[in-house]
Structure 1
Amino acid sequence: MARGEVKASWRKPAGMLAILLLILVWVVLVASFSAEIGSLPILVQLVIYVVLGIVWIAPLKPLLLWMETGRWRMRRD
């Protein structure tokens, strides 16, 4: 490999597909409970949907780290 040349990694396309799959699964899961959530008072619905809208981000940190480095956890040097 020439100096300065970067080798393409399969982790980034695989990670992007994993992110899209995660979003799809999360949307289907939340939508499957929409009838139960819809029967609750509007302010409770607001809190539930805000929390559910944020929670799906939690698994992204290790996935993005893996996409960049190939490791699931940061090194503790």
Structure 2
Amino acid sequence: MRTEPTWRIPVGILILIVALVAYALVIARYVPELIGDWHVAFQTIVYLVLGVIWLLPLRHFLVWMETGSAK
């Protein structure tokens, strides 16, 4: 356990917020144009997948925030 604060946590949170806002804006801007004519069930699946995809790199990012190593 670390006993002193590290700069990586506040910087990591800011990076995460900026990245999620950018991701959401890109999805909100471009995806409706691509799938707007699809059946609502297929649109739901696409949005569910896109809503979960951002979680894939999150584990490594959180490990970096805590330890400084991207393992």
TM-score bracket, shorter-length normalisation: 0.7 to 0.9
More contact order relative to length (CA 8 Å, sep ≥ 6): 2
- Give me the TM-score of the superposition, normalised by structure 2: 0.88
Question: Could you tell me the percent identity over the aligned residues?
Answer: 32
**Greater helix content:** 2
- Alignment RMSD: 1.4
Moved over 2 A (4+): none
Gapped runs of 5+ residues in structure 1?
none
Report the alpha carbon displacement of residue 35 of structure 1 after superposing the two structures with TM: 2.3
> 1:25 and 2:55 equivalent?
no
Amino acid at match of 2:66: E
Aligned to 1:7: 4
The TM-score with structure 1 as length reference comes to 0.81
